[in-house]
Structure 1
Amino acid sequence: MADQKKPLQGGATLPLMAMAALGVVFGDIGTSPLYTLSACLSAMSLQPTAVNLQGILSLIFWTLVLVVSVKYAWVIMRASNQGEGGAMALTALASHATGHSNRLRWWILSIGLLGAALFYGDGVITPAISVLSAIEGMEVASPAWKPLVIPLALGVIIGLFMVQRRGTAAISHLFGPSMLVWFLLLFGSGLTWIVADPQVLIALNPWYALQFFGIHGIGGLVILGAVVLAVTGAEALYADMGHFGARPIRMAWYFLVLPALALNYLGQGALLELDPSAIQNPFFMLFPAWATIPMVVISGIATLIASQSVISGAYSATRQALLLGYLPRQAIIHTSASERGQIYLPLLNWLLMVAVIVVILWFRSSNALSFAYGTAVTGTMLMTTILVF
C-alpha cells in the first residue's frame, strides 16, 4: 500500500485544493451534527442529563478520532491504486496480494462488490436524509411549514442532479467556499455555548464513554447505532481521493473539519445541560430565534453539498467497476481537460436521482431513514476494513 502523492490540479496550492475538497468530500460528515445527538438520545429514550450527555459526547468525539482521523485519514488512504481510492480500487489492490489463490481472490472480489453495492445504497440515502433533516428545521420556526418539507426536498434533489453535468471541478469551486462558511458556523456556534458551560469539555476524557456502558450495561451498545451517524461520509475521504489527492483531504480534515465538528457537538451538549428543553432540535437551537430560518437555508445548501460527496464517489466506483469489467459499458464524460478524476456518468446520474426521489416519497422523514442509513454506512465500512486487512 503506497501513499502516492497526487499532483495538485493546474498548479493549485495545497490550501486551495483543501478548500475545493470541502465542497465535495466533507459535506456529508459535515452535516451530521444536524441529527446525530438527537438520534443518540432518542435511540434509548434518554433524558439529557449531565451523565448521559458526557457519555454520548465522549463516544461521538472518540469515534471521530478513531474512525476518521486514524482509520481513514491515516491508514486506509495509504491504499492508493494509481491515485484512486474507493471500494473497487481497494479490491484490486487486495486481489493482487492473493498470489495464485483463486479461491481467496473470489472471496476478496465478493467482499469488494458487496462494499461497492452498499456504497451505492449510501449514495441514495445520503441525499435523502441530509436534505430532509435540514428542511425539517423549518418546523422549529413554525409547524405550519411542515407540508412544504417534501416538495422542497424534491426540488433541491432534482436541482442537484441536474447540475452534475457541469463536472465536479466546477461544482467544488462553487461549493468549497460555502462549506467553509458552514464549518465556521459550526465552530462559532459550538464555541459560544462551550464558553457558557465549559464543564462540558470533560467529555473529551474517554473514561466517560466507558462509564456510559458501565451504567447502561449491554443495553448501552444500542447507542452505537446512533453514534455511527457522526461518521457518515467518512468513506468519501477514500472514495473521492482520485478527485483531489490525499494531502488536501487530510489537511482539510485535521485543520478545519474535525475541530468544527467536535466543538459543535460539545456546544450542543452544553446547550442541553443548561436548557434540557432544547432536546426538540439542539442543532437549530444553538442559534438565536431570529436566525432559525436563515440557518435552515444555510443548512439546506450544506446538505445539498453533502450529497455531492457520495455522488462523486459513486462516479469513481462505477468507473473503476467498468474498467474491471464488473458492470455493463456506459458513457463516461470527462469534464476537465487537466484532471482525469473529473467525470460525469449520465445513466448513473439519472438512476440515482430517481432512486433518491423514491426514497424521499417512501420514508418522508429523516428519522424514518436513520436505520437504513446506518446499515449502509456501517456495512460499507466493514467491507473496507476487511479488504484492508
Structure 2
Amino acid sequence: MTHDPSDQDDTPRENAEHESEEEQQNEQNVSKKNEQEQIAQAHSPEKHAESSEKEEKSIGPRRLLALSLGALGVSYGDIGTSPLYALRECFKGSSHLAPTDVNIIGILSLIFWALILVVSTKYMMFVTRANNNGEGGMLALVALLNPWRRDAGRYSGLLLKLGVFGSALLYGSFMLTPAISVSSAVEGLNVATSIFKPYVIPITIAILIGLFAIQSRGTETVGKFFGPVMILWFVTLATLGIYGIVHEPGVLAAINPEHAVAFFVRNHWTGFVVLGAVFLVVTGGEAMYADMGHFGRRPIQIAWFGLVLPALLLNYYGQGAMLIHGQGASANQPFYELAPGWALYPLVVLATAATVIASQAVISGAFSLTRQAVQLGQLPPMRLFQTSSEEYGQIYVPTLNWLLMLATIGLVLGFRTSTNLAWAYGVGISFAMTITTCLAFFIMRERWKWPLWIALPLTLGFLAVDLPFFGANMLKIPHGGWFPVATAILVYTLMSTWWRGRQLLRERLVEDEPLPLDEFMHELATDDIVRVKGTAIFLTGSDAGTPPMLLHHLEHNQVLHEHVLLLTVQTEDVPRIPAADRLEIDDLGQGVYRVFARYGFMQNPNVPVAVRLCEQFGLDFDTDKATYYIGRATIIPTDEVPGMMLWREKLFAFMSRNAIQPTSYYRVPPDRVIEFGLRVEL
C-alpha cells in the first residue's frame, strides 16, 4: 500500500518504538551496517507476528502483572461500567419486563452466557488471535487481510467496505459511551435524595466539558492513576456483589443455561426484545479488542479472567439477588440500591471516576482509530499531536475532540436520561461485532489456513449469538438507535469518498505523466542540463513514471540540483516499521536517488528524519539545506469526466481543501518548500 501512513508494533506498549524526539535522534544513530542488514530481511506480517509472540512470551511475571493492571484502566473501562445500567434496562427499557423471581433468574442466566460466549470465548479465545502484529481493532483486522494487494481475491472489495463501515459504526459509540456512562453515575445521586434531580444534567455536562478540555494536555500523568482506580472499582463491584448474593444465594442457579432457555419459552417476543438490553453487558468487547495493541494479548486475557469477569458476574448476580430478596430494592437503580446507605455517596464518586476513565479510554480509542484511518488513506490528513514521549497510543486530534464533545453534550441534552440513551446504545456495536465475526472467518481461511469444516461451524456458532443481539438492537432504531446508524452512514460516506477520490486523482495524474523514469534518466545523462549545488527532494507517489513536479521544475527553471531525491512515503499493512527498516534506496545515477520511506499504519511520518537517515547509506549532502518540492492539486468537480457522482466529487474537493497541508503532515519545514499547483478535473 502507498497511502499517507502511520504505525505500530505487535509488541506490548512498553516494547514499541515511539516517534518522539528521542527516537528521532536514535534513528539518526543507527549504523549503516545494521540498517542494510535489516532492510534486506523479509518484512512479511507473519515474520513480525512471530517476533511479537516471542517478545510477549519473554515478558517476566512482574512485567506481565504490571501490563495486566494497566489494561484495567484503558481496555476495560467501557465494559466495566456496564453494571451501572445494564441490568436496570432489562426491566426498565422497552420490554416492560416484570422483575419477577423467574425473570430475574432468566436475565442473570442470559448475562452469564453472554459474557462467556461473546467476550470470553469469541473475543478472548479467537478474535484476539487475529491481531496485526499485536494490534487489534477493525481497521487492523482489515489491514491483516490486506484487500489492497493486487492479487486479492474476489471478496477483497467487500471486505474493505465491511471493515470501513464497521469502523464508521464505532464513531457512534464514541459519542454515546461518555454520555450514557457519566449520566448513569451522576444519576446515583437521585437514589439518596431528590435534591440533585434538577442538577443531574448540568453536572453531567460539566464533567464532560472538563474531560474533553484536558485532552490537549494528554493523559500521561492522569493515566498513571487509571489502573489503581479501576482496580478499586472492580474490587468494589465484586464486594457489593458478594454482599447481595449472601442475602439470596439461590441466584447462583442462574449459571444453568436451562434458565435462559426457559426465559425465552416463557416470554416469547418480549424475551427477544430484552436481548437489546442484555447486550449492554458486552458492549465493551469490541473496545477491548481495539485496545489490545497497547498491552498485548496475554495481559488483556489475564486482566479479564483474573479480575474483570469475576467482578462483573458477582455484581450482576448481587443486583439480581437484592431484587429477589427485596430489602427496599427496586429495578430503578439496582446497582446503587445494592450498596448500604452510608456507602452511597462514596460509591457515586467512585462510579463517576470510573465512568470518566471509561470515557477517556473511548476518546483515546477514537483518536487512535482516526489516525489509523488517516494513515490507511480512508480519511484526509489532519492535525495529530503526540501528547506523550513514552506512549505512542496517547495522541490528540483537536478537530475530532471538539466534534465529539459537541455531539456528546447534544446527546445528553437530547435524550435527558441514561435510560433514554440506552435506546440508542448498542445498535452500532452489535453491528460491528457481527462484522468482526465475518472478517474473522476470512482470517481463519486466508491467514491461518484453517479448513472449511472448522472455520465455518465456528463462525456460524458465533453468528448464532451475534445475530439475535443484532436483531434485538435493530428494534431500537425508531427510538434513538437511528443516531449511531446515521453517524456510521455519514462517516462511511466521508471515508469512501476520500478513498475513491484519491484513486481517481492518482489516475488523472498518471494520465499526465507519460515519461518513464528510465527514459528521463537517459535524457539527463545525454542532454546538457545545468546542474547547481544543493539538494532537491521531490515528494512523489509510488508510480514508476517521472514525477510531474520534476518535469515542471526543469521546464520552468532550466536547471537541476546536484543531488535529487524522489521520495515516496509508503504505509505498510503492519502497525509499525522499525527505524532500521525505514528506508529503501535505489541509486539511479547522475546524482538521482529513488527513496522509499516505509511506515506502519500506526506511525506518523517524519520526512526530515527519514531524509537524514539517508546519510547512513553514504548519501553525502546537506539535508538541513535541502529544498522540498511538493505538488498541490486543485480539484475541479465535473460530470464531463467519468468518476464519482458530482456531489461526491464536490465533497472530495471540499475535504481536500480543508485537509492539513503536506508540509505539516510530513513535518517538512515550510520555509524550505516549493509548491507546484496542478488543476485536476475529476
Change (3 A) 1:261 1:19: same
Per-residue displacement from partner, 1:165-204 (whole Å, max 9, x unpaired)? 3434433311110111111110001001112211110001
Change (3 A) 1:335 1:83: farther
Aligned with 2:380: secondary structure? Answer: coil
Kindly provide the amino acid, as one letter, of the partner of residue 61 in structure 1: F
More strand by share: 2
Checking the alignment, whether the CA contact within 8 Å between 1:233 and 1:310 is kept in structure 2 is no
Checking the alignment, whether the CA contact within 8 Å between 2:78 and 2:358 is kept in structure 1 is yes
Find 1:282's aligned residue among 314, 318, 334: 334
- In the TM superposition, what is the alpha-carbon distance from 1:102 to its structure 2 partner? 6.4
Kindly provide the amino acid, as one letter, of the partner of residue 22 in structure 1: L
State how far apart, in whole Å, the 1-side matches of 2:172 and 2:330 are.
32
Find 1:15's aligned residue among 54, 62, 65: 65
For 1:333, the equivalent position in structure 2 comes to 385
Aligned with 1:179: secondary structure? Answer: helix
For 2:97, the equivalent position in structure 1 comes to 46
Change (3 A) 1:134 1:252: same
Equivalences for residues 164-175 of structure 1 within 5 A: 164-175=215-226
For 1:385, the equivalent position in structure 2 comes to 437
Find 1:368's aligned residue among 407, 416, 420: 420
Q: TM-score, normalised by structure 1?
A: 0.94
- In the TM superposition, what is the alpha-carbon distance from 1:53 to its structure 2 partner? 0.9
Structure 1 position 188 matched with structure 2 position 244: no
Checking the alignment, whether the CA contact within 8 Å between 2:147 and 2:160 is kept in structure 1 is no
Aligned with 1:116: secondary structure? Answer: helix
Task: Give the gaps of 5 or more residues in structure 2.
Answer: 1-45, 442-682
State how far apart, in whole Å, the 2-side matches of 1:347 and 1:102 are.
37
Find 1:296's aligned residue among 348, 356, 364: 348
More helix by share: 1
Q: TM-score, normalised by structure 2?
A: 0.55
Percent sequence identity over aligned pairs: 51
For 1:313, the equivalent position in structure 2 comes to 365
For 2:132, the equivalent position in structure 1 comes to 81
- In the TM superposition, what is the alpha-carbon distance from 1:295 to its structure 2 partner? 1.3
For 1:253, the equivalent position in structure 2 comes to 304
State how far apart, in whole Å, the 1-side matches of 2:111 and 2:148 are.
35
State how far apart, in whole Å, the 1-side matches of 2:323 and 2:360 are.
31
- Structure with greater contact order relative to length (CA < 8 Å, sep ≥ 6): 1
State how far apart, in whole Å, the 1-side matches of 2:149 and 2:424 are.
33
Residues matched between the structures, number? 388
Equivalences for residues 182-261 of structure 1 within 5 A: 182-261=233-312
Equivalences for residues 110-125 of structure 1 within 5 A: 110-125=161-176
Kindly provide the amino acid, as one letter, of the partner of residue 324 in structure 1: L
Larger Rg: 2
Moved more, 17-26 or 184-193: 17-26
- In the TM superposition, what is the alpha-carbon distance from 1:282 to its structure 2 partner? 0.8
Aligned with 1:291: secondary structure? Answer: helix
State how far apart, in whole Å, the 1-side matches of 2:276 and 2:421 are.
13
State how far apart, in whole Å, the 2-side matches of 1:80 and 1:288 are.
43
State how far apart, in whole Å, the 2-side matches of 1:122 and 1:380 are.
10
State how far apart, in whole Å, the 1-side matches of 2:390 and 2:191 are.
45
Kindly provide the amino acid, as one letter, of the partner of residue 38 in structure 1: R
Aligned with 1:200: secondary structure? Answer: helix
Task: Give the gaps of 5 or more residues in structure 1.
Answer: none
State how far apart, in whole Å, the 2-side matches of 1:7 and 1:300 are.
34
Structure 1 position 162 matched with structure 2 position 213: yes
Checking the alignment, whether the CA contact within 8 Å between 2:83 and 2:316 is kept in structure 1 is yes
For the aligned residue pairs, the C-alpha RMSD in angstroms reads 2.1
For 1:94, the equivalent position in structure 2 comes to 145
Find 2:408's aligned residue among 344, 351, 356: 356
